[in-house]
Chain A
Amino acid sequence: MTIKPLTADQKDALQEVLNIAMGQAGDSLARILDAFVALSVPRIRIVEVANLGKTVVEMVGENIDVSAVRQAFYDDLRGEAIVIFGQAGCRDLADLMGYDTDIDADAEHELLLDVTNVLVGAILNGITETLGTELSFTAPSIMAERRPIDTIITPENLPWTHALLLEVNYSLENRAFKSHLLLLMAEDAIESLRKAVNDFMESI
């Protein structure tokens, strides 16, 4: 299946929608961590699912251990949200949230699930508010724990050939914490999103 690329206008509009949503999610994160969160410019691209693992390594960096949490969303737009946390950042998170920095695996799970829920919830709500779409999402679950970055994505488990990849990054000043939030949407969801973006552009 071939995917019609997003037009420059669609990409620009989507980028701005994502920017607003990212700001809201960043503010939520800043509030729970009581820290200043640095935001990146969101990136949007269509990738071949077979190359997704490689793309993720390029985004996050080679040879690092990460934990990752996934959360699925459905209804008007369907896809997967994945938040990737570098291992050093997990210790920062624990510290900022007032845990002992040598937290055990269970406590770390809980922390990553909580933070993911806040980030993904805020970003999806931001998108739906701006685009006027409806979305539901599942509870977050751990998809990788302290594993090398190049092993976390297994494209053979995804029934898609192409995916729209939306990427936003959050980091903290003077801290190692860095998280990458990815939204992945399959072929049919790209068309739904394209329609929602077109409607939005017409409305302004």
Chain B
Amino acid sequence: MHLQPDVKRELRHIGIGCAVGAVVLSAGWGLLAAAGTGLSFGPAVPVSAVLGAAVAWLNFFGLAVTLQKAVHCDSETGRHNLLRMSDLYRKLGLGVFLVAMILIPFFNWVAAAIPLLFPQLTIFVMYAFGRKTTSSKGGE
């Protein structure tokens, strides 16, 4: 499926935000551990953070593809079914990922769960710093 340029641009922004967030999370975790707060820092933290950020970006990608398809869908029933199935599969994917992070002892589930909200955080930052502006004129 061909992605619209605007959707590609948002995917790129969210991808950059997730990557930066994973680096900041790992660095912050390391600093807190070095400051003697009782947090343990090891290879599990950056690996879990990067995996969490990747899953968050994939979730956003799935949302983007679904919404683009839904906009082009003619029937309302088809649109509802598309959104419902996408929501189900994306939530299922997130659930499997989180359960794997909790059950596999190597990974740190806190470091994996925090990046799931990086796309939303990126959007807040984009709006807060005026990075995101609309060019539409409005009106009928």
Bind each other: no
B residues whose Cβ falls under 8 Å from a Cβ of A: none
Residue numbers of A with Cβ under 8 A of B are none
